[in-house]
Chain A
Amino acid sequence: MDLGAINPILLIAALMSAATPILLAATGELVVERSGVLNLGVEGMMIVGAICGFAIAVETGSPMIGFVAAAVGGAALSLLFALLTQVALANQVASGLALTLFGLGLSALLGQSYVGVKPPRMGDVDFGLLADIPVLGPILFSHDPVLYIGVLLVAAVWATLKLTRLGLILRAVGENHDAAHALGYKVVRIRTLAIMFGGALAGMGGAYISLIRVPQWTEGMTAGVGWIALALVVFASWKPWRVLLGAYLFGGITQLQLNLQGAGVAIPVEYLAMSPYIITIVVLVILSADRSAAPGSLGRTFHASN
């Protein structure tokens, strides 16, 4: 056992990267749920985003175009969910589960010829001298652009929900869709847009795994991250900054336990592997003591009855 081999600076830098897929997917799902829709298809949208991003990045040679394609792919799949739940008024839970299964199958089909291929590498953002600052440089200024986009999105979602009229309308639709309809807001249109936003972010989260975290394609490689993102939204009481906190906590512990495994700590690997899930959930359960935060219309089917 050699705990000295764990470098805290590299650990913190790596946790931000490990947290980004969850962060992206959870931020998107937060917007969806704030609009009153429960989309359990996050995992499916992530894996479809992962293969779309991977394939397009390989074909074009540009990881950035790959991320755009991942967002489009995730949004396209979520549009199917929107069609089922907002137009056909299908049950949201069942539709979401179906979406996940469908996404897993579809991605396996699409990805058949990409197994074993290496994607183009995405470069880090060049902060110039800032990256040379000791400690802070490697932690804050030596990452790929998508990681920064993720953090900026959290801030943008928070500001939109809190400060803008658009955010107010979104919250209103999620809080009481009948009242919002009575006031003349287009509940179905707003929700469809929110669902597509959630799909796009989930797709980007998936592509972050296949293009940056584990630069390769394997079937089912999102491995439950979408479900963690879903849980994170609930335990974060639908608050963007808590989602960020939860994602970093999860990413941090994942990274730490990998390092501990590498250092050969005398704890069975299985316990280490489950620790991120347990610790994240325990912390967020403690944080989410104010229970009344759930959007009032969450998961309920809206039908304008006249």
Chain B
Amino acid sequence: MTPLLSLSGLTKAYPGVIANDDVSLQIAAGEVHALLGENGAGKSTLVKMIYGLVKPDQGEMQMHGAPFAPAEPRAARAAGVGMVFQHFSLFDALTVAENIALGMENAPKLRDLSEQIRQVSDTYGLPLAPNRVVGDLSAGERQRVEIIRCLLQDPKLLIMDEPTSVLTPQEVQILFETLRKLSADGTAILYISHKLEEIRALCDTATILRLGRVVGTCVPRDTTARDMAEMMVGKVLATPTRAGVEPGEIVLALNKLSLPSPSAFGMPLREISLELRRGEILGIGGVAGNGQDELLAALSGETPAPVGMVQFQGADIATLGPNARRKQGLLAAPEERLGHAAAPDMSLTENAMLTGAVRERLDRGGFLNWPAARGFAERIISAFDVRTPGPANAARSLSGGNLQKFVIGREVLQRPEVLVVNQPTWGVDASAAAAIRQALLDLATGGAAVIVISQDLDELMEIADRFAALNEGRLSAPQPTKGLSVEQIGLMMGGAHGMEVAHV
């Protein structure tokens, strides 16, 4: 039987990198095919070629046995290829129906389209109101917009790029039900992810990419997650370990911290109370946009809080700014690497100076101590294995994972009493993620307290001692992570949100 899509010998080179080198794979109708690989392994380039966004230098693609070379996404869509993007390609100010119309070749009148949207969303259990403005939707709902946009064009092949990274466990279940239904109807699915357990639960076959080459294929059901991870990375992975430490005295306490929303699309914080002890790691989960950024800003001092709501080592620091808090030992690393945690066009030395000046004495009387700053940046680079030619390089020139190691390393090396990190391993490959987690664990072992805000539940389960979830700006009561089940976590995250209609 001819496969639905077959790729043979696809090669694509960019200046300085070969993104795809002689990649071949085949997808049958109705098959759920996983594409696995670390960041920079060439997964995105490969699917962009299938979707007509990038032209291969060499090699050919066939669909139903006939040559297939889409010159642009339009042609790929016409041939039956649909794609759900990792960073949603949605327009915040437009409605659901308008967004969907933009992704269609011959969009019907908006009223008819709304009717079709309702039908598809009922058939596949994806509740969605066509006339809502996308800016007001949750991440899960936004993804439904993208999926429905693809489904309305009756695709033969659906490409999903990291679809679950922003979903609650319950939303993931709904998505998987939908995908299984589609696959039963004969739609092939190319599923990109680095969440191995999901791939084992969903996919029929997996192709593993490393540095642009196919390094193996496997049947995920019969392969352990660890084996797949090691194929991806090409070496044996070290599991983060820690010595058990008894929690010490309370170092940071929030007392009914409430703050109004900083912007129209932000989230107010509502009566958040917690006590953090020395030597412990508190994991804070929750779907993006439920107050994570706001909580980090309140802890780091970017947003001052009313008197009495933030206590650090017994003193009230609620009204202090970031540098005053840093001086006392409360450090933070925000989520957005480029632009928030680091200034993209400044060198690593300058970036090291930006947060390190206070604790590392990198300035004196308003004058900058360049040699000391360079030394500090070099220490970060060597201690955290940051791959860069040197500290004079701009932050922007580093890959995401390397910059993340730098940003985390910069705070860890300042010997914090309390470190708050948001999404410490987001978009970071497996080995760098393991290194960052190990650094956080070592920090806690050394007697500091760490708050890890993350959407990666596996990560939180792996390193946190206690777990709490943010939902609509409220923090659930922290629970010990040992023995916590996925269902409990889902309930803590308020996973019931938006699920009422979703009886599949």
Contacts and interface: CB of A to CB of B under 8 A. Distances in A.
Asked if A pairs with B, the answer is yes
A180 B53 CA distance: 12
B89 A175 contact: no
B497 to A, nearest CB: 24
Contact of A182 (B73, B93, B94, B107): B73
Given A172-B91, A175-B92, A176-B91, A182 B102 contact: no
B48 A306 contact: yes
A190 to B, nearest CB: 12
Interface residues of B, number: 22
B85 A182 contact: yes
Given A165-B107, A184-B73, A306 B54 contact: yes
Contacts of A296: 91-93
Interface in B243-270: 264
Majority SS at the chain A contact face? helix
Contact of A168 (B48, B52, B77, B98): B98
Contacts of A291: 264
A176 B90 contact: yes
A183 B103 CA distance: 6
A306 B89 contact: no
Contacts of B72: 184
9 contacts: A168-B94, A169-B102, A172-B91, A172-B94, A172-B98, A179-B89, A184-B74, A184-B77, A306-B48
A292 B133 CA distance: 13
Nearest to A290: B264
A175 B74 contact: no
Majority SS at the chain B contact face? loop
Contact of B53 (A165, A172, A182): A182
Contacts of A179: 88-91
Contact of B102 (A168, A292, A295, A306): A168
B101 interface: yes
A306 B91 CA distance: 21
Interface in B97-148: 98, 101-103, 107
Interface in A171-226: 171-172, 175-176, 178-180, 182-185
A165 to B, nearest CB: 7
The 9 A-B residue pairs with the shortest CB-CB distance in the complex, in nearest-first order: A184-B73, A179-B89, A182-B89, A175-B91, A184-B74, A176-B91, A172-B102, A175-B93, A184-B72
Nearest to A306: B54
A296 B89 CA distance: 13
A238 B345 CA distance: 33
A191 to B, nearest CB: 16
Interface in B73-93: 73-74, 77, 85, 88-93
Contacts of A185: 102
Interface residues of A, number: 19
A295 B432 CA distance: 38
Q: Which of B73, B85, B90, B91 has the most CB of A within 10 A?
A: B91
B401 to A, nearest CB: 19
Given A175-B93, A306-B53, 19 more contacts: A165-B107, A168-B94, A168-B101, A168-B102, A171-B91, A171-B93, A171-B94, A172-B98, A172-B102, A175-B91, A175-B92, A176-B91, A178-B89, A179-B90, A179-B91, A180-B102, A182-B53, A184-B52, A292-B93
Interface string A15-31: 00000000000000000
Contacts of B53: 182, 306
B73 A183 contact: yes
Interface string A285-299: 000000110011000
Nearest to A294: B93
Nearest to B72: A184
A36 to B, nearest CB: 11
Contacts of B101: 165, 168
B239 to A, nearest CB: 36
Interface of B: 48, 52-54, 72-74, 77, 85, 88-94, 98, 101-103, 107, 264
B51 to A, nearest CB: 9
A216 B22 CA distance: 70
Contacts of A184: 52, 72-74, 77
B264 A175 contact: no
B92 A176 contact: yes
Contacts of A292: 93, 264
Contacts of B264: 291-292
A116 B278 CA distance: 85
B160 to A, nearest CB: 14
Interface in A254-272: none
A175 B88 CA distance: 13
Contacts of A165: 101, 107
Contacts of A176: 89-92
B107 to A, nearest CB: 7
A170 to B, nearest CB: 11
A24 B102 CA distance: 29
Contacts of B74: 184
Contacts of A180: 91, 102
B101 to A, nearest CB: 6
A296 B53 CA distance: 23
B151 to A, nearest CB: 16
Contacts of A306: 48, 53-54
Contacts of A183: 73, 89, 102-103
Nearest to B70: A184
A292 B92 CA distance: 11
B480 to A, nearest CB: 42
Nearest to B74: A184
A150 B74 CA distance: 36
Contacts of B48: 306
A172 B98 CA distance: 9
A196 to B, nearest CB: 23
A44 B53 CA distance: 38
A82 B92 CA distance: 26
Contacts of B52: 184
Contacts of A169: 102
A178 B90 CA distance: 9
B80 to A, nearest CB: 15
Nearest to A292: B264
A82 B91 CA distance: 24
Contacts of B90: 176, 179
B47 to A, nearest CB: 12
A168 B109 CA distance: 12
